[in-house]
Structure 1
């Protein structure tokens, strides 16, 4: 991301009135996770979190996104391609990611990623509204299936699904709470290419299984 863009964002008032979100959260850290539809592999170059307290966490997320198919440990191409990349799952998981410690809930998240099946570079600004942040601070009584106990749980995880065509869809969820859809964003193509143009136009490699699926069935644009 260029310094010019960063200066614009900071000037927009990301460090503005955020008194409701200063100080400690009702949990140790919030989590940022990513996933992609089956076979529609992505590589996240960076995900930067712009906090409601004015602080910026660069690379709050990066690397691979979780995916149902292809299976991580399977090297050969299966005879039957069982995954279905069309649409989003009814129940999203937590995705691949990490906890962001010592930071307020994000007001905006900047994501730049490689869509490997196209291939293409996309980037997007995702706004996390005040109402969404308030919902992440609100505890709910729920029966946790893991141990059958009633607990007070929080939707402390932001989960982002990344799909071909530059689609980013966002949910908030908790360990024992159902996910709530937050927003859907259409990303823009980044003309600088992979790694800000520093890789000579080379993308991360697409797995043989995903390549076989796309060659046989194509990319289901419009389903996300």
Structure 2
């Protein structure tokens, strides 16, 4: 019965979203990027979005992430990018992820300020080094970096544009464990050998994020 109710709610939500029509944006999709510091391995269980219309969209992104060049600090934007089509600009983003090197499971809520949505639809002139040309671009990328301790840092930016920091967020431990308690405590996988060796030698640089 619980699964049936969830299914009916999902169908109602899809119907509600379709009734609103396609979002009026200057591009077909905006993007979410997921990343982590080098060796601080992560598996993202889900990225969910509530857009500025108040509509909820579950599991718009997840899985493996992109990694930075260094374990300490941040790369400012980027990561494994996913186009988010037929979804209006984000108001709230929820991320649930497994920090494989601890191991621990975290949930974080990321509130997106209005200035970010304004930034995402503002045309900007930018110099693209690869093509050696000035072009009009949009900051349609939201990048989320996840680190041990439940730390999440978020930026807005885009191709040829600088990344602007939205904020630093601290997630909460999901006491149910990985996969919402449905895996008998089993995580996606153990850390790779290279990550395990690094942490054995250097530890986890908690204070750097």
* Same topology, TM > 0.5: yes
CA distance in 2, matches of 1:175, 1:145: 10
Aligned residue among 72, 80, 87 for 2:73: 87
Matched, 1:146 2:136: no
Deviation at 1:144, TM superposition (A): 1.2
Aligned residue among 187, 193, 203 for 2:177: 193
SS in 2 for 1:175: coil
Return the TM-score normalized by structure 1. 0.81
RMSD, aligned CA: 1.8
CA distance in 2, matches of 1:33, 1:84: 18
SS in 1 for 2:206: coil
Q: What is the aligned partner in structure 2 of residue 214 from structure 1?
A: 199
Q: What is the aligned partner in structure 2 of residue 12 from structure 1?
A: none
Q: After TM superposition, list the pairs within 5 Å mapping 1:113-128 onto structure 2.
A: 113-128=97-112
CA distance in 2, matches of 1:154, 1:202: 41
Q: Which structure 1 residue ranges, 4+ long, deviate > 2 Å from structure 2?
A: none
SS in 2 for 1:211: helix
Q: What is the aligned partner in structure 2 of residue 37 from structure 1?
A: 37
The structure with the largest helix share of the pair is 2
Return the TM-score normalized by structure 2. 0.87
SS in 1 for 2:163: strand
Deviation at 1:173, TM superposition (A): 1.0
Deviation at 1:93, TM superposition (A): 4.3
Unpaired segments of 5 or more residues in structure 2?
6-15, 17-21
